[in-house]
Structure 1
């Protein structure tokens, strides 16, 4: 495994991280999830990402339970807050009240004394950014959180938050967690630049486009049994990728990957990691074998010629705008 600094901080995270959005606590049984976490750790992954809203806290419990087998200082544990955790008017968002209460709740579910990276899962237009940033800074001062970040904020919101932090002499945000893969590339248009100027690194999710960039889904064929697209609990997002033009392009990309003795998933992950501002690509896994395959991407070198071939193939997909 290889490691990169997270933004301008001194924190180093593995180039591949393990996430738990659509698997742990939902479609994947706890025993299998734990096996995936243990395999990831064994192979050098030190960055583990979850969120309080993933299956209403169950994903945090599974991940925290599995990681308790290891020395706490040996891994970076990240979680998030924003989405509703109850029916009350203050059970959501980024108010000071919700941040303080949900940090305590996440600590209990994770079974730990501190969270390495605490992230704002989305931007909260109902709460002043200053209030959110002060609350995060207080949690850091208390030692309950070591670093803070955001997820899916716009370039303008990132720039504004950085300015406010500097004006108030608050500890800076160090990361942004956006979606990023060969088909969804919006962060290239401003977000990466704003993040670099703010000293933030990207920890991207869905680098394999919900599994489409593994090549398992074929044009004109039904989704394989047991796959994410075949599961009613997890197919809501992936369905937007299951277009004929997208699937035809994945076939061409898979053939291209074969010319460098790589799988499509390894090519897709290495393509994401070509960006220097990306600190880690967060993969999901329902089987330990998937992690074993994906981890080889960190050693795959992509030449300028190969990258140009990738761009030529991707140009065949027009107007891709899935629901997020």
Structure 2
């Protein structure tokens, strides 16, 4: 496992991190424990969750499982989503952030968070209010670093400007979606974060499972898969060129001696500006199989070959049956 600095900070995180959205949502505590054990055994030190995953169950399960291993990991969670029926039970107001962080600390059974991230941009709350609240948490020792998720480049730039103006701790990381089928961040975000030394922890490097090759045109989705469950975001990707891209990388993966999923992950980790890729595991083999290729990187020539194979592909004409 390779470890990379999180942006300009001195914090080192594993290039593959564990995403725990499945914990308490699709899998129980025993299955979660097996995945967490395997992740730590294979060198992962960054574990990512959110207070809304499984309505708090992901954090609760992690709190039960970490115990004496808490110091071994960089623990990251998020705030923004609705966690109650009250009018102030969502967003990034000082009120909500203060309540949400205390609830997360209780569920995670820890005194501090290594990385506290705002889950998305909140247009209803002044950024200065959010940043001052997060800065207070850092100064209180409840949070080590702060980050953002799903921000546009201009939103992150605005936040950095406010932090610089008022001498506040700034967002040191960004968590966007990124894969060989979702490359929007390459236009503005990647140049910006490279210029400003911001860590990039990407989610869905396997295109929500599409790049593993599990979905085929004309075939019903596998039983128990996210597509079979009707996940809307996955269906949206399939309306684009996701399946043709997955088909295009198959021979490239075989040439490299990798599975499609391993190749897709290696592609992300070989791209410039990426600090870590979140592997959202719901099965033990998601960790053990991925671990076989963590030391594989694609050369500039291989990346160019992937670009050539996946550019200008049209959406699949034949739908995947429901």
TM-score by length of 2: 0.94
- Residue in 1 that maps onto 2:65: 66
- Residue in 2 that maps onto 1:174: 172
The alpha-carbon deviation at position 267 of structure 1 amounts to 1.1
- Residue in 2 that maps onto 1:314: 310
What is the CA–CA distance in structure 2 between the aligned matches of 1:319 and 1:217, rounded to whole Å? 14
Structure 1 unaligned blocks of 5 or more = none
User: How big is each residue's C-alpha offset from its partner over 1:220-260, in whole Å with a ceiling of 9 and x where there is no partner?
Assistant: 1111122222235xx23222233585323312311210101
Contact 2:240 2:315 in 1 (8 A): no
Q: Helix, strand or coil: the match of 1:226?
A: coil
What is the CA–CA distance in structure 2 between the aligned matches of 1:132 and 1:146, rounded to whole Å? 16
Q: Helix, strand or coil: the match of 2:286?
A: helix
2:268 pairs with one of 249, 252, 272:
272
What is the CA–CA distance in structure 1 between the aligned matches of 2:56 and 2:193, rounded to whole Å? 29
The alpha-carbon deviation at position 189 of structure 1 amounts to 1.1
Contact 1:151 1:176 in 2 (8 A): yes
2:126 pairs with one of 106, 115, 128:
128
- Residue in 1 that maps onto 2:14: 14
The alpha-carbon deviation at position 69 of structure 1 amounts to 4.8
Report the count of equivalent residues.
316
Matched, 1:150 2:119: no
Q: Helix, strand or coil: the match of 1:100?
A: helix
Mapping 1:213-292, distance limit 5 Å? 213-232=211-230, 235-243=231-239, 245-292=241-288
Mapping 1:71-150, distance limit 5 Å? 72-150=70-148
Structure 1 outlier segments of 4+, above 6 Å: none
The RMSD of aligned alpha carbons is 1.7
After TM superposition, the structure 1 stretch with the greater mean CA deviation from structure 2, 274-283 or 45-54, is: 274-283
Matched, 1:55 2:54: yes
Contact 1:158 1:198 in 2 (8 A): no
- Residue in 2 that maps onto 1:211: 209
TM-score by length of 1: 0.93
- Residue in 1 that maps onto 2:36: 37
Contact 1:201 1:278 in 2 (8 A): yes
Change in 2 beyond 3 A, CA 1:244/1:219 = farther
The alpha-carbon deviation at position 318 of structure 1 amounts to 4.5
The alpha-carbon deviation at position 199 of structure 1 amounts to 2.6
What is the CA–CA distance in structure 2 between the aligned matches of 1:76 and 1:281, rounded to whole Å? 14
Contact 1:83 1:93 in 2 (8 A): yes
- Residue in 2 that maps onto 1:301: 297
What is the CA–CA distance in structure 1 between the aligned matches of 2:167 and 2:244, rounded to whole Å? 51
Change in 2 beyond 3 A, CA 1:226/1:319 = closer
What is the CA–CA distance in structure 2 between the aligned matches of 1:75 and 1:244, rounded to whole Å? 37
What is the CA–CA distance in structure 2 between the aligned matches of 1:96 and 1:250, rounded to whole Å? 43
After TM superposition, the structure 1 stretch with the greater mean CA deviation from structure 2, 296-305 or 237-246, is: 237-246
